[in-house]
Chains A and B, each alone.
Chain A
C-alpha cells in the first residue's frame, strides 16, 4: 500500500502540568492510518491510549497540557493550526465517538436537531436538506423507522441506539477518519456485537479510516487491520493484528494476551482453571493450573433458593399510585454447594444483581424461600439477620466506591470481626494481618487509606474484608468486571486459591462469559428476571440449548484475528424491559433436562 496515509503521527509526546511540573504521559508514539484501514490502539487504564486520541484532536486543556511531535491529517499539520482552524477539522475531517452514550448527547434537544445542526453548520445545508440528510444517516446506522424518530429526544433511545445516533452524527460530515474511543465498552455484549458490525459495514460503505481505542483484545482481534499496543505511555509494539496476536514479542503484549480469557478455551478441562501467569520482564509464561475439585456435592447445599421473586413497584402520577412492577427476579430456583462456584450471567437488567442482593436481604424479596447455611433467610428478624451475615458476604464491582474513604484499610477489614464480637482487639489485629497476607498484600499496609491503593489492590482489600467473618458463601457481584485484564486475571486466580484453601462457595455474578467459563463449576443464564438455562459449565458452554444462551455466546468477541471479517448478522433487537403492568401474571415455566443437571426453559 503506497497510498498517502490519512493520519500520520510522528513522535507524539504529550505531557501534563502537575503541581508546576511537566509530567510525560505519552512518549514516542508514531503510526500511520491508511485510507480505509482500521488501526486499534490497545492498552490498559493509564497506558495513554485515550490521551493519544485526545492529543490528535487537540482536545486537551491548552494551559495544562503540551503536545509535541507531528500530526498530519489529510496532509494538514494539526499542531500548527490555530484553534479556529482546528475547530474546522474536528467533526469535519475527523470525527470522534466516545464511550458513554448516555451522556454524550444533549438531553434537551431532539436527536434530529442535534444531527442536522452539524450539517447546517459544517456543510451549509438548508433546513429541509439537512432533515432529509439526517434521516438518511439514521437509516444508514440502522435505526428502525428513522423518519419517525427524528423528533425523539435522547432519553427515548436505549444505550445502543444512542451510540448509533452518535455514529450518525460523526458520519454527518463524511469524515476521512473516525476516532472511536472505547465506543462499545459501556454496552451489553449483544449490543456491542451490533455496534461492531455496524462500524465494519459503514467503513466499507464510506471508505473511511478508523482509529479504534479499546482495552479489549477480543474487540481488537475482530475489528483491527493493524494494532498498536501501549504500555505506560509508550507504544511498545505495533504491526498487523494477526502478527501481534501470534508472534507478539514484547513481554507486555504476551502478558496481556495470556490474561485475556478466551471463550471456548476450557473445552477439555474439567475444573476451573487459573489464568496463566506471565513475567512482565521476561515474558515467560507459566502453564495455567487446573484447580482441584472443591465441590461438596451430595451434601446439603449451603445455599438453596426456591421460587425467589423480587419485584419493584413502578409509581407514577400525582399520588404516586402503583402503575406496574419491575419483575426483576421472577421465580428462580437453584442450589449452591460448599466449595462450588455458580455463575449468574446475563445482560444489564436481567436481574442477576437483584438476585444476589435478595439472597442477602439487602433488597427485600417479594416471595420464595432462601435457605442459607441453616438460616431460613426470608423469615429472619433483625437479630437473626445480623447473625446470618456471618455466613454470607459480598464483594462489589467498583473497588473505588466499595471502601469507605475515611477509614483505614485495617479498620475496614477488622470492622466486621469487631462488630460481631468474634474476639479481642488483639485478635482482630492478628486476623487483619493474616487476611492481608492471604489476599497477597502486606500487613503493614493496614494503616493506610484506600486512596493509596490501585484498583486491583483495593479489590483485594474488599475481598479481605469479606473474608473477615469466615463466611461460607460469597456473592461476587461483577467483582472483576471493572479491572484491567491482567489485574482481572490475578484477582480471579486469588478467588480460585481462596476457594480451595477456605472451601468457599461463590455466587459469581458477571456479564463476562469468558471469565465465567474460566472460574465456574456451574452456570445459570438469566434473561428478564428468569433463569433460562442452568447446568454444569461444560454442558452450558459446550451444548447451549436456549436461544438466548446461544445469542449471548455468539456475541462475545473472540480474541482470534482469524475470525476477523465475520459478520454475526445479529438483528437490531434491543434488550427487553422487565416492567409489567399491574396484575400481570407471569406464565408458568417448564424446564427440560438436557443431561444430568442441565436444565433449559422450554415454555
Chain B
C-alpha cells in the first residue's frame, strides 16, 4: 500500500509548549502586546519600591502644575504627583481588568459549556437567565450590584465580573453548539469517555479561541467600568488612585490642565491595545493548526 499515501506532512515533530512559545516569539505584534502588558504589570508591582512621591500626599503649592522636572507628568487639582498616582493606579486598574474578567470567564464559560453540551431544559434555563441578564445594560447592572455589595475595589470587581459574565455564557454556548456536532465528539463517547472528560478535553480546547479574544476585549471594558464606578464612589475609594477615577476628576479641568486627563487616558489606551495584541497572539500560538 504505497501508492500516493506519502503526502507531504509537515516536517519535524514538536513539543506543544515550545511550539506555542516559538510561535509567540515569531509573532511581532504579540510580542509588542506582551511587552506593554508586562511593563504596566511591573510598574504596578514595583510601586512601593520606586522613588516616587506619596500618591495621596496633597500640596497646596503645586495645584494643577504642568509637567516639569519636579513633577514629570504634572500634578492634579489637589497638587498630587500624577506620575506617582499613575503608577499606584496601575495596581487598581489592572486588577479591576484582570480579576473581573477572570470572574466572568470562570463562571460564564462553564455555564455556557453545560448549556451548549447538554441542551434540552438545562440549556433552556441557562439561556433564558442569560438573556434576561443581557437585557440589562452592562454598566447599570454593575452599578446596582456594586451598590448592593458595598463600596470597595473588591466589590466593584465582583460586580463588573458578574455583569460581564452573560456575554461569555452566550459566546461559549454558541461555539459549543458548533463543535458538538463534530465526529470526534461522538468518537469520544464511543471510546467511553464521560461527559466531563468530553467537555474538558474535546470541546473546551476547540472553543477557546473566541473566548480569549472576547476576554481581552472585556478587560478593556472592565477597566473603564471600574473608572465609572470609582466616579460614583463605588470603586477604588478616594484618595487611593485608579486610572479611571483620575480620568473622571480630570474631565472637570480639561481646558486648564489637559495633562490630568492625557496620561491616564493614554495608559488605558495602551493597556487595552496591549491585552488585545497579547490575546490575538495567544489565540494563534495555542492553535496547533496554524504553522
Contacts and interface: CB of A to CB of B under 8 A. Distances in A.
Q: Do A and B bind each other?
A: yes
Interface of A: 44, 255, 259, 277-280, 360, 362, 385-387, 389-390, 393-394, 396-398, 401-408, 415-416, 419-420, 440, 444-449, 451-454, 456-457, 462, 465, 469, 484, 486-487, 489-490, 493-494
B1 A440 contact: yes
A454 B184 contact: no
B195 to A, nearest CB: 10
A489 to B, nearest CB: 8
A255 to B, nearest CB: 6
Q: Which 4 A-B pairs have the closest CB atoms?
A: A454-B7, A389-B192, A406-B205, A447-B13
B187 A490 contact: no
A487 B192 contact: no
Contacts of B183: 396-398, 401-402
Nearest to A448: B13
B5 A420 contact: no
15 contacts: A280-B2, A386-B192, A394-B190, A398-B183, A401-B183, A401-B184, A402-B182, A402-B187, A447-B14, A448-B13, A449-B289, A452-B9, A456-B7, A457-B7, A489-B3
Contacts of B206: 404-406
B4 A487 contact: yes
A21 to B, nearest CB: 15
Contact of B5 (A278, A401, A490): A490
B201 interface: yes
B191 to A, nearest CB: 4
B289 A405 contact: yes
A447 B9 CA distance: 13
B189 interface: yes
Contact of A403 (B5, B184, B186, B194): B184
A404 B188 CA distance: 9
Nearest to B290: A451
Nearest to A258: B3
Contacts of A451: 288-289
B108 to A, nearest CB: 21
A77 B271 CA distance: 57
Interface in B1-25: 1-5, 7, 9-10, 13-16
B189 A362 contact: yes
A280 B4 contact: yes
Nearest to B184: A404
B131 interface: no
Q: What size tier do the contact residues of chain B reach?
A: 20 to 34
A396 B186 CA distance: 9
A390 B186 contact: no
B288 A280 contact: no
Contacts of A465: 187, 191
A44 B3 CA distance: 13
A533 B186 CA distance: 30
A431 to B, nearest CB: 14
Contacts of A393: 190-191
Given A393-B190, A402-B187, A453 B13 contact: no
A454 B5 contact: yes
B3 A280 contact: yes
Contact of A419 (B7, B9, B192): B192
B3 A277 contact: yes
A74 to B, nearest CB: 38
Contact of B186 (A278, A362, A420, A452): A362
B202 interface: yes
B54 interface: no
B144 interface: no
Classify the interface of chain B: helix, strand, loop or mixed: loop
Contacts of B202: 404, 407
A305 B15 CA distance: 46
A447 B15 CA distance: 7
B249 interface: no
Given A415-B193, A448-B10, 6 more contacts: A259-B3, A280-B2, A407-B205, A415-B191, A456-B5, A490-B1
B191 A416 contact: yes
Nearest to A455: B7
Contacts of A362: 186, 189-190
A408 B16 contact: yes
Contacts of B187: 394, 396, 402-403, 462, 465
Given A394-B187, A440-B1, A447-B13, A405 B192 contact: no
Q: Which of B184, B202, B205 has the most CB of A within 10 A?
A: B184
A406 B190 contact: no
A220 B73 CA distance: 78
A92 B183 CA distance: 42
Contacts of B197: 419
Nearest to A469: B191
A368 to B, nearest CB: 20
B16 A457 contact: no
Contacts of A44: 4
A387 B183 CA distance: 21
Contacts of A420: 192
Q: Which of A390, A446, A449, A490 has the most CB of B within 10 A?
A: A449
B191 A277 contact: no
A278 B14 CA distance: 34
A393 B4 CA distance: 27
A186 B250 CA distance: 65
B3 A278 contact: yes
Contacts of A494: 1
Contacts of A416: 191-192
A466 to B, nearest CB: 8
A255 B205 CA distance: 41
A401 B9 contact: no
A452 B190 CA distance: 24
Nearest to A385: B192
B9 A454 contact: yes
B5 A457 contact: yes
A416 B201 CA distance: 13
A420 B16 CA distance: 25
A449 B10 CA distance: 10
B120 to A, nearest CB: 11
B182 A401 contact: yes
Interface in B245-291: 288-289
Nearest to A477: B183
Contact of B1 (A386, A454, A469, A493): A493
A448 B201 contact: no
B10 to A, nearest CB: 4
A441 to B, nearest CB: 9
A401 B184 CA distance: 6
Interface string B100-120: 000000000000000000000
Contact of A402 (B184, B192, B193, B289): B184
Nearest to A454: B7
A449 B286 CA distance: 12
Contacts of B205: 404, 406-407
